[in-house]
Amino acid sequence: MGELEFRKALFQAIHAKAPLKPYLGDPLRVFDGVPRGTTLPYATLEAVTTQLLTGHLNEGGRLTGSIGIYSRHPDRAQTLEILQIFNELLEPGITPATGTDAAGLTMTETSCRRLSDGRTWYGRIKFSVLLQHSD
């Protein structure tokens, strides 16, 4: 249905976003499944689900997902700055490689809070996008 193509395009767009390097390093600490012992701050593609629009795989679906940011900066400023860069990246949309059309990318939530350990800030952007095979 294009989920894999969209994920690849999303990671390519993230890794091409130079303003993330001062925060997430070079190479960027952006993961789809975080390796054990990863240095903070880092970003991860969290739960991704696809719901069929009509019940037929070839007629497309709505992909929903979220990007999580984890930081141990003394205050939430760093997490909010990284979230802003991700907002700027997602706002114009993500274009997958040929074979998949992506339309209507919307950000449905942006949030930032301190986790229960009292040291880690967690920011999240939830988004959704319509995916369809192109003819």
Separation in Å, CA 38 to CA 18, 34, 112: 20, 7, 20
pLDDT of 56: 61
- Total structural domains in the chain? 1
pLDDT in tens, 37-60: 899 999 999 988 888 777 665 667
What is the model's pTM?
0.87
CATH code of residue 28: 3.30.2000.30
DSSP 32: S
In the numeric block, the tokens 């205050």 are attached to 75
pLDDT of 73: 96
Quote the domain boundaries for residue 121.
Answer: 1-133
